[in-house]
């Protein structure tokens, strides 16, 4: 299985602390060594970095840990290959354009016998079940709405579409269009909200403690979503199986 990391923030925030711990799981403290990737939204723009090397040894991952980029929505992934060879085209996150916006998707799990009918311009480049699922979601969203709908409308549509994929297996995923972060759990996903009054956090996968009170303002707020908790001294909330949560400005919407 792979692992997921997502950040949704009220103000542009760098992910260096979380990303540094997360990278160790890509072949360092864990076995997810079959590629990694991270996407940063900047307004309507997108910075995407993917590499089929292990995140624990990748020079690009090391560069990003020391050259933090600030964003309100960030999705990262470390891969343990099951469907599809270890290659650049099968490395998450995947991106597509819809309604004049970038969309980013990363998946953890296996979909057995999943062969969706793709009849629009959303088609996979690689051979992973994950990219097929992403293409089908984009295709069906495009069919359901003539133009960019509200976050609430998108969430309703996703709640109708996701069970049609998750019936084929494990479908933990993160999805963002730069305005919101959608997170769905089949088996394992956790989140926390960092906000005022900020406190210290200590990574589980690396010897690093940060006092966020020294780095943030009262109006800052960050939602962190991850497969397995990244820190040992913060209160993480586990998703319920089948739960889809949308985060906006660092807050989970009801």
178: left (phi over 0), alpha (psi -120 to 50) or beta: left
**Distances 141 to 49, 88, 131, 153 between C-alpha atoms, Å:** 26, 26, 15, 10
Distance (Å, rounded) from C-alpha 14 to C-alpha 33? 24
In this prediction, residue 55 carries a pLDDT of 87
Q: Coil, strand, or helix at residue 82?
A: coil
Query: Can you give the CATH number for the domain in which 99 is found?
Result: 3.60.20.10
Q: Which two tokens stand for residue 248?
A: 């906006």
**9 part of the active site:** no
Backbone angles phi, psi at 10, to 5 degrees: -75, -30
> How far is C-alpha 5 from the geometric centre of its chain's CA atoms?
5
% of residues, the chain, pLDDT over 90: 82
- What residue numbers bound the domain in which 212 lies? 3-252
| Predicted pLDDT of residue 128 | 93
Q: Are 188 and 227 within 8 A, CB to CB?
A: yes
> Are the CB atoms for 161 and 140 separated by under 8 Å?
yes
* pLDDT value of position 32: 62
| 3-state SS class at 218 | coil
Yes or no: say if 91 and 75 are a contact pair by the CB < 8 Å rule: no
- Stated pTM of the model: 0.95
Predicted confidence at residue 164, as pLDDT, reads: 98
Which position among 2, 9, 23, 185 bears the catalytic label?
2
> Rounded distance, CA 172 to CA 166, Å?
9
How many independent structural domains does the chain possess?
A: 1
Blockwise average pLDDT, block size 10, the chain, 254 residues:
93 94 80 84 95 90 91 93 75 96 97 92 94 98 96 98 98 98 98 96 94 92 98 97 98 94
pLDDT of residue 84: 58
């Amino acid at each position: 299985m792979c692992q997921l990391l997502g950040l949704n923030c009220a103000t542009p925030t760098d992910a260096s602390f979380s990303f540094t711990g997360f990278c160790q799981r890509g072949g360092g403290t864990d076995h997810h060594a079959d590629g990694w990737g991270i996407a940063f939204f900047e307004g309507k723009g997108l910075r995407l970095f993917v590499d089929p090397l292990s995140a624990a040894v990748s020079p690009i991952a090391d560069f990003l840990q020391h050259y933090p980029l600030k964003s309100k929505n960030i999705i990262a992934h470390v891969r343990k290959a099951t469907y599809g060879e270890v290659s650049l085209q099968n490395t998450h996150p995947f991106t597509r354009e819809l309604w004049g916006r970038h969309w980013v998707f990363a998946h953890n799990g296996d979909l057995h016998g999943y062969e969706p009918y793709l009849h629009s311009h959303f088609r996979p480049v690689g051979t992973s079940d994950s990219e097929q699922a992403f293409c089908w979601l984009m295709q069906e969203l495009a069919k359901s709405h003539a133009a960019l709908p509200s976050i609430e409308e998108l969430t309703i549509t996703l709640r109708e579409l996701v069970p049609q994929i998750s019936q084929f297996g494990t479908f933990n995923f993160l999805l963002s269009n730069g305005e919101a972060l959608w997170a769905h759990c089949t088996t394992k996903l956790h989140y926390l909200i960092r906000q005022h009054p900020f406190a210290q956090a200590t990574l589980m996968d690396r010897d690093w403690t940060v006092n966020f009170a020294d780095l943030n303002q009262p109006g800052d707020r960050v939602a962190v979503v991850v497969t397995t908790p990244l820190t040992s001294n913060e209160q993480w909330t586990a998703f319920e199986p089948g739960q889809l949560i949308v985060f906006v400005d660092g807050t989970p919407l009801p």
